Amino acid sequence: MGGLLKKLVWQDYALLVLFLVYVIFQINLVSQFQQMPSPLYGGDYYHQMGAVNHVIYGGAPFKSFTNELTTPNYSPIYGFLVGNMARVFNLNAMNAMFIFSFIVIFFSMLITYWFSNAVFKNKSLALISVLIFVRLAFFPILKYRELTLFILWPLFFLSVYKLLKTRKYMWALITGVIWGIGSLSHMAFFPMAIFFMPFMFIFMYYIDFVKIKKKKFKINISKLKKEWYKPLLLLLVVFFIGFIIAQVYWFQAIFVYHGQVPNPEPKLRHIDLGQASAIFGYFGTHFKNLFFHFKDGQSPWVWSLSSILITIGTISLFLIKKFKFRDHFLILIYASAFIIPLHFLLTVPIMGFHMDPYLMQLFFYRILSMLIVPFAILVIMEVFSKFEFTKYIPYLLIGILLIFNVLDFNYRVENYKWYQTGKSPLAPYLIDASTWLTRYTGIEDMFIAPKEIGSAVNGISGRKFLAVRGNQESLISPVFERQGDLAVILYGNNTDTQKTLLKKYNVKYLYWDYYWLRAEFQFDKGGALVGYFDPLYVRDTPENRQYFKENGVAYTPENMAIDPSSRNNPLVPKLDMLVAYPPQFDMGHPWSYSLDKFLIEIQSFSQDNQVLAKVYEVRI
C-alpha cells in the first residue's frame, strides 16, 4: 500500500479532490429532492424507477417491468444494479437511485482519467478530459442511458484503444465483454458497436500493412500475405463474445422477429429522416453540436470552451505531418463520430428505418470531445513552445474548467424546471397508493388503466399494466393490439369480449385516478374537449373499425403523430389512427358500466378529504 501511494502524483490526488467537490455539490442538490426531478406522467426518471421497484419487490431483472412480456423497454443493467443495491441496503427506489449516482461519478472519473492518460501519457491532460466529459451539471445520473454513456461507453473505447495498441487476445476478450454488457445497458450500444467494427477493421489493416512515403501509400504485400488473418481473428473474438452476451436482450428482436419488432413507436416518434428538410436540419445540428455549441441549457460554459478547442483540434489533425499512433486513433474516433450517425442516409431509403442518429451523435461526440480537447491543448502548447508560460496552460485550463463546471451546475439548478418539481413532495395520495400497492399486490399482478396513469403508477410501485406510454413499451410489445384490447375492456359494452380479454391478460386490478380523463384528452377551462394528450388508439384499418364497432367502442379517425411530446412537430410521421373514447366523460366513472360486473372496490386513497384514486379487484 505504501509503495502504491509513493507512485501517486499530484494529479491523482487532484482527481480525488475533484470527486469530493462533485460529491459536495451533488449532496447539496439531491438532499433537497422529495420526489424524482421529472414529470410523473411519461417522465423517464419515473419510468426508470419502475424498473428499480420491479427488482426491489422480487421481479426478474431481465424481464419486462411494465407488462408480462419477456423483454423490458429500458435495458436491464441499471435496474438490476440499483434494485439489488436497494435490496441489500434496505433502501427505497428513489434514494437508491440518488446514491448510485455518486458511484457513477466516481467510476466515470476514474475510467475517463485512465483512458485519457493512456492516450496522451499526460495526467494533467487526463484531468482536463475528466472536466470535459464528467461535467458537474450532467449529474445526478438517474437513468440507464447516462449510466451507459458515462461508464460503459468510455470503458469500451479504452479497451478498444488497448486492443489496437497491444493486439492481445486478452483485450479482444475484454472489448467483447464490455460490448455485450453495454448492449444490456442501452439498446443503442449494440448497433453502434457493430457500426464501429468496420472502422476498427480498416484501422488495423492500415496500421499493419500500409506505409506512407513521400505522400504516397504503399501496401506491404509480403506482410499482408503472411499476417492478413491476425487482425481479423481479433475482431472475430470481439464480435462473437459481444454478440453472444447481447442476446440476453436482443435474441427475440433478431432471431424471432428478424428486426421487424411488433412495437413501431420507437421509430415513429422521431423526425422523418426521409424528408429533405429533415436531412438538412440534421446536418445543421451535426455541425452545430460539434463546432458551434455555444448555447446549451445544461452546460453552456463548458460547451462553449470545448467547441472552440474542438475546432482547433480538428484543424490541427489535418495539418499533422508525422503521425503517431495516438493521432491515428484520434482520426479513427473522429471519422466514426462523424460518419456513423449518418447511417440513416443508407438505412432509411433501403430498409425504411434508422438507429436514432441523434442519440449516436450524443454518444460519439462526448467521446470525441474528451479526446480532441486535450489534443488541441497539446497543439497550442507546441505552437507557443518558445514561451515560458506554455507549461502552465494545462493548469490554467484545469482551473477554468472547474470554475465553468460550477457555473454550469448553478445555471442548471436555477433554470431546470424539473429540479424545482423534485424539491416539492409527491402528492400524499400517490405516496399512500404506492405503499398500499407494494404491500398488498404482487409484482406480477396485472392492472388496467389509461396509458399515462399506468406509466406513473408503474414508476412509483413497479406494478404491471396492460398498456403504458408507447415509447416506454418493450420493442416486442404489440402496442396497438394491446391498446385496442384495453379500449374494448374499458370502453366497450360487450361483456363476453371483456371477460375473454380480462382472462387473456390475467388482469387482477383496475386502478382509477382522478387524472384519468386528462391523461387521455385535453379540455379547455369550460370543460370542453379540445384535443388529445395520450389516448388509446389503434391503426385505422377495416379490421380495427369492425373490432371497435362489434364491441361498442366509440372512436374517431385521426391523422396524428402518436407520441404526445412530438405531436406538433411537422417533421414527425403522422399516421391514420382510430382514437377510442370513453362511453361517458365522467371523471369518477369513465369506463363502461358493463365492466362493473367484474369489479369490486377494495381500496381508496384520499387527500384533503377527497377520494383521488381507487383500486378495484377484478373478479370473473
* Per-residue model confidence (pLDDT) at position 295: 67
Query: What is the sign of the dihedral through the CA atoms of 391, 392, 394 and 397?
Result: negative
Residues 220 and 217: their CA atoms lie apart, in Å, by: 10
* Per-residue model confidence (pLDDT) at position 296: 64
Kindly calculate the radius of gyration of the chain based on its CA atoms and give it in whole angstroms: 27
Residues 203 and 89: their CA atoms lie apart, in Å, by: 46
Q: What is the mean pLDDT of residues 222-251?
A: 93
Residues 179 and 181: their CA atoms lie apart, in Å, by: 6
Residue 346 has pLDDT above 90, yes or no: no
When pLDDT is cut at 50, 70 and 90, the band that residue 153 belongs to is very high
Residue 34: CB partners within 8 Å, gap ≥ 6? 422, 423, 424, 425, 426
Strand, helix or coil at 234?
Answer: helix
Going through 345-486 in order, the beta strands assigned E by DSSP cover 446-448, 464-465
User: Which strand (E) or helix (H) includes residue 77?
Assistant: helix 76-89
Count of Cβ atoms closer than 10 Å to residue 298 Cβ = 15
Residues 312 and 320: their CA atoms lie apart, in Å, by: 13
Three-state SS letters, 438-474 = HHHCCCCCEEECCHHHHHHHHHHHCCEECCCCHHHCC
Q: What percent of the chain shows pLDDT beyond 90?
A: 71
Q: What is the mean pLDDT of residues 532-559?
A: 97
* Per-residue model confidence (pLDDT) at position 471: 82
Residue 320 has pLDDT above 90, yes or no: no
Residues 387 and 117: their CA atoms lie apart, in Å, by: 25
pLDDT per residue as tens digits for the range 413-472: 999 999 999 999 999 999 999 999 999 999 999 999 999 999 999 999 999 999 999 888
User: Helices 123-133 and 93-120, interaxial angle, to 10°?
Assistant: 140
* Per-residue model confidence (pLDDT) at position 214: 65
User: Which strand (E) or helix (H) includes residue 198?
Assistant: helix 189-209
Instruction: Give Cα 373 distance to the centre of its chain.
Output: 25
Strand, helix or coil at 411?
Answer: helix
Place of cell 445543421: 284
User: Helices 76-89 and 93-120, interaxial angle, to 10°?
Assistant: 120
pLDDT per residue as tens digits for the range 476-515: 889 999 999 999 999 999 999 999 999 999 999 999 999 9
Residue 537 has pLDDT above 70, yes or no: yes
When pLDDT is cut at 50, 70 and 90, the band that residue 330 belongs to is very high
* Per-residue model confidence (pLDDT) at position 72: 86
Residues 479 and 481: their CA atoms lie apart, in Å, by: 6
Q: What is the mean pLDDT of residues 147-152?
A: 98
Residue 2 has pLDDT above 70, yes or no: no
Count of Cβ atoms closer than 10 Å to residue 154 Cβ = 25
pLDDT per residue as tens digits for the range 564-591: 878 788 888 889 999 999 999 999 999 9
Q: Which of 109-113, 253-257, 445-449, 458-462 has the lowest mean pLDDT?
A: 253-257
Average pLDDT score, the chain: 92
Strand, helix or coil at 151?
Answer: helix
When pLDDT is cut at 50, 70 and 90, the band that residue 278 belongs to is confident
Q: What percent of the chain shows pLDDT beyond 70?
A: 97
* Per-residue model confidence (pLDDT) at position 3: 65
Residue 255 has pLDDT above 60, yes or no: yes
* Per-residue model confidence (pLDDT) at position 4: 67
User: Which strand (E) or helix (H) includes residue 607?
Assistant: strand 599-607
* Per-residue model confidence (pLDDT) at position 294: 66
* Per-residue model confidence (pLDDT) at position 283: 79
Q: Which of 223-232, 239-248, 256-265, 491-500 has the lowest mean pLDDT?
A: 256-265
* Per-residue model confidence (pLDDT) at position 323: 85
Joined together, the cell numbers standing for residue 230 give 491476425
DSSP β-bridge partners for residue 601:
616
- Cα 302 to Cα 16, 136, 142, 263, 362: the distances in Å are 21, 10, 22, 38, 16
* Per-residue model confidence (pLDDT) at position 378: 93
In terms of Cα–Cα distance, which of 605, 470, 456, 564 is closest to 40?
456
When pLDDT is cut at 50, 70 and 90, the band that residue 297 belongs to is low
pLDDT per residue as tens digits for the range 357-389: 889 999 999 999 999 999 999 999 988 888 888
In terms of Cα–Cα distance, which of 156, 139, 115 is closest to 19?
139
